[in-house]
Amino acid sequence: MNFQYWNSEIEKMPRQDLEALQVKKLKAAVDQALKTPFYKERLTGAGIKSGDDIKTLSDLRKIPYTTKHDLRDGFPYGFLSIPKEEVVRLHASSGTTGAPTTIYFNAGDIKRWTGYVARCIYGTGCNKTDVFQNMITYGLFTGGLGFHQGGEEVGMLVIPSGSGNTTRQFRLMQDFGTTVVHATPSFLLHVESKMKEEGVSRDSIKLRKAFAGAEPYSEDTRRRIEELLKIDVYNSYGLSEMNGPGVAFECQCKSGLHLWEDGYIGEIIDPDTLEPLPDGQTGELVLTCLCREATPILRYRTRDLSSFYTDACACGRTHRRLRRITGRTDDMLIINGVNVFPSQIEEVVMAMKEVGNNYLIVLEKEGVLDRLIVKVEVGANVFMDDSRLLNALKEKIRKTLQAMITINPKVELHESGALPVSEGKAKRVQDNRPKDV
């Protein structure tokens, strides 16, 4: 395979040199953080008065964790480390509860962020001959402008189409010869089903790659998108607290997400004990940003569950690789005392060829017990009037889920297109249980 490197010197830097660079940048990040009201109190309370108190990477553990709750308590300017007149942009988290987490950027921050996203895009084999259609929400959400500016840096023709309106998306693809798109995995599945509905032939579009992110999804979902749309799908990881997209990305090998360690320090911890876990073990990802001045954030508990690969990547990059995000610690469902992650249900459902592209997890109360209902759309080749076939499929899904999660769910089958479709992050869980129970 002919690998592409945006910055070969950095991407293939020897580990010893890369870790020395991290220490240097961490010292600067600590000094910058001490200029904020929050970290001045938090760091000095931990005995850290300047970046010189950081000697090695192991000293990172002296720094207290930062949580989303901290960021919300610091709203709006508690984490700002530069004069407000030097700020050129702000972004906010896409969360729907509580105060948003707001991140500020100066001009240098934007330039560095753009470089990391360009590194991601170029590393998948894209170049200035590509036409890039950004089918994601713009505005305060970082995914829109983040990928937009990265695509322009690579030199691609960027179409800022935004999310939704599949008819317009198809027209843009056909008119301008789109070769690469960025979207949530759920919207990519929706696009494929709408192609059939609107009579858009695969031969009429030149699409060859997609970047998928903003929501956890399984390897089976990736394979399904690739098979249905006949494209390569690359997993993207980012979060607004760490700039947005560009934190970690798959290369052409598609064997894990390279965490760009010259810009971020990653740790995996046990979410209960908060102790570090060795590479290979799954836990909560903690990130420290080394590439932003306006809003420094140290040891941020992402709540995302992942692990580091222990072997080297065939592409030659030395930056460690994260396994795909399997879920979030705060997404865990407790059903009759059993811990269940939505990703476990998706893994079962999307592996079945008879199943369509959409599903919904519903939780209700029956007396004192929780009831799990999994609503699944059937594939186009399944006839809804064949009761024997439908009953066999329901039983197959039920038994497979029960073996996976140890809970006996109720399974409902629905026609294709019957379940609600989200044009942004998919809303896969509907918890109707009384909140005071």
DSSP letter string, 1-30: -----SSHHHHT--HHHHHHHHHHHHHHHH
C-alpha 131/C-alpha 117 separation (Å) is: 16
- 139-183 residue pLDDT tens: 898 999 999 999 999 999 999 999 889 999 999 999 999 999 999
pLDDT at position 434 is 84
Contact between 356 and 377 under an 8 Å Cβ cutoff? The reply is: yes
pLDDT at position 94 is 53
> In CATH terms, are 1-330 and 332-431 the same topology?
no
Contact between 305 and 328 under an 8 Å Cβ cutoff? The reply is: yes
pLDDT at position 134 is 97
pLDDT at position 406 is 84
C-alpha 62/C-alpha 48 separation (Å) is: 8
C-alpha 309/C-alpha 250 separation (Å) is: 13
Asked if residue 76 has a cis previous peptide bond (ω within 30° of 0), the answer is yes
Residue 128 pLDDT grade (very low, low, confident, very high; cuts 50, 70, 90): very high
pLDDT greater than 80 at residue 330 = no
Q: Where are the domains of the chain?
A: 1-330, 332-431
E strand residue ranges, 69-221 = 89-92, 102-105, 131-134, 157-159, 180-183, 209-212
CATH architecture of the domain covering 332-431? 2-Layer Sandwich (3.30)
pLDDT at position 423 is 64
CA nearest neighbour of 307 among 241, 257, 378: 257
Q: Residue 262 carries which DSSP code? A: T
C-alpha 291/C-alpha 22 separation (Å) is: 10
- The residue that leads in pLDDT, 231 or 95, is 231
C-alpha 355/C-alpha 193 separation (Å) is: 13
* Across 255-261, average pLDDT: 98
Strands 257-259 and 244-250: antiparallel
pLDDT greater than 90 at residue 301 = yes
CA nearest neighbour of 395 among 381, 380, 376: 376
C-alpha 277/C-alpha 274 separation (Å) is: 9
pLDDT greater than 50 at residue 437 = no
pLDDT greater than 90 at residue 196 = no
Distances from the Cα of 67 to the Cαs of 37, 241, 277, in angstroms? 16, 10, 19
Q: Which CATH number is 1-330's, of 3.40.50.12780, 3.30.450.70, 1.20.1630.10, 3.20.20.70?
A: 3.40.50.12780
pLDDT greater than 50 at residue 96 = no
pLDDT at position 98 is 52
* Across 337-346, average pLDDT: 83
E strand residue ranges, 19-128 = 89-92, 102-105
Tokens read off for 123: 């590393």
Percent of the chain with pLDDT over 70: 97
pLDDT at position 97 is 44
> Whole-model pTM?
0.83
- 355-383 residue pLDDT tens: 988 899 999 988 777 899 999 998 877 77
Residue 46 half-sphere exposure toward CB, CA atoms < 13 A: 19
Q: Which long-range contacts link 8-11 to residues 24+ away (Cβ below 8 Å)?
A: 10/262, 11/119, 11/123, 11/258, 11/317, 11/318, 11/319
pLDDT at position 197 is 86
pLDDT at position 436 is 52
C-alpha 166/C-alpha 187 separation (Å) is: 9
For the chain, give the number of residues: 437
pLDDT at position 421 is 79
Mean pLDDT of the chain: 92
* Across 35-63, average pLDDT: 97
Poorest-pLDDT segment among 75-89, 189-203, 374-388? 374-388
Contact between 174 and 204 under an 8 Å Cβ cutoff? The reply is: yes
- 21-45 residue pLDDT tens: 999 999 999 999 999 999 999 999 9
C-alpha 106/C-alpha 128 separation (Å) is: 27
Poorest-pLDDT segment among 257-266, 370-379, 392-401, 426-435? 426-435
pLDDT at position 420 is 84
pLDDT greater than 60 at residue 266 = yes
CA nearest neighbour of 133 among 177, 94, 167: 177
